[in-house]
Structure 1
Amino acid sequence: MRVTGSVVVIAVLSGGDGAGPAHRFAAAGAAGLLVADPRPGFAEDLAAELDRPGCPVIGVSSDIHQPSDIAALVDTAEKHLGPIDLFCVAGPDGERIVALAELPGHLHRLAELLDPLGEAIGEVVPAQRQVPRAARIDLAS
């Protein structure tokens, strides 16, 4: 995966951390970053810290669980940074990167992006804990 010269969107999920990937992408030569974090002020502070000539960084408060939020991120990134090359989802169990060049290319870009982002979210969010069988209440008795 080529990072140098790439425009990268980093979407942070609840319990995730975007600072690590943002620092790594910036150090690897990204051409621009958009960081979206659901916690107000976090992405904006990170953007102010990392923004520099050659790699502008935009921070927004956003949650990517809704297609409309993803659409807004795509629009904002493309308006200010250019076409997106990589979309990183940072969750409590790690990160997953979707390279837009790997998408089919025959559908609307947002439609193509929703499915792999859904998969990425599923990979970086801890599986819900199941109640052990012995602790379940049997309502039939």
Structure 2
Amino acid sequence: MVVIAVLDGGSGADLARRFSAAGAAGLLIADLRPGIAEDLAAELDRPGCPVVGVSGDIHHPADIAALVDTAVKHLGPIDLFAVAGPDGERIVQLADLPGHLDPLAEVLALVGEAIGEVVPTQRRPVADVPLAG
């Protein structure tokens, strides 16, 4: 099962279509813009690959926790967590997480790294941009 989180300026539609065509067991699509993920979910939902669309902002740990809970509750264990941003996509394999660690803390760390990879430097918060010396 795959979670696709769309950041401001990104699009998860192509990514969701690719996962659906490749035979994903299920998709949860989260988008900042209300209605976008829900519409895409309605388009892609089919037997063998249920799709759920929700509004959410993965910049907030509480939203990530809610996405994980919703995904597991409605679709089963998460295999991949994908972030679609303005500078591309990043896919994180959750199956590789060590079982002895706090899974949510690990997901938060991995998603934070993924966000950093797909958000242009000029759009990152000031604290993330190195100061010129």
Q: If the length of structure 2 is used for normalisation, what is the TM-score?
A: 0.90
- Structure 1 equivalent of residue 44 of structure 2: 50
Distance across 2 between alignment mates of 1:107 and 1:128: 34
Q: What are the ranges of 5 or more consecutive residues in structure 2 without an aligned counterpart?
A: 124-133
How many residue pairs are counted as aligned between the two chains? Answer: 123
Report the CA distance between 1:109 and its aligned residue: 1.1
Q: Determine the C-alpha separation between the residues in 1 that align with 2:99 and 2:12.
A: 28
Matched, 1:111 2:105: yes
- State the alpha-carbon separation in 2 of the partners of residues 28 and 11 from structure 1: 18
Q: Does 1:64 align with 2:44?
A: no
Paired amino acid for 1:103: L
Which structure has greater helix proportion? 2
1:33 and 2:35 matched: no
Q: Does 1:120 align with 2:109?
A: no
Question: Could you tell me which amino acid in structure 2 is paired with residue 84 of structure 1?
Answer: I
Task: Specify every segment of 5 or more residues in structure 1 that has no aligned partner in the other structure, as ranges.
Answer: 1-6, 130-141
SS of 2:121's partner is: coil
The alpha-carbon deviation at position 105 of structure 1 amounts to: 2.1
- TM-fit CA distance, 1:104: 2.2
Instruction: String of CA shifts for 1:90-133, please: whole Å, max 9, x gaps.
Output: 0000000000022222112101111111000000000117xxxx
Q: Read off the aligned partner of 1:115 and give its amino acid letter.
A: A
Greater than 3 Å deviation, 4+ residue runs: none
Q: Does 1:12 align with 2:2?
A: no
Alignment RMSD: 0.9
Which whole-Å CA distance do the structure 1 matches of 2:100 and 2:41 have between them? 33
Matched ranges for 1:88-103 at <5 A: 88-103=82-97
Alignment of 1:127-138 (within 5 A): 127-128=121-122
Partner of 1:81: 75
Question: What is the CA–CA distance in structure 1 between the aligned matches of 2:20 and 2:74, rounded to whole Å?
Answer: 17
TM-score, with structure 1 as normaliser:
0.85
Greater C-alpha Rg: 1
- Identity of matched residues, %: 80
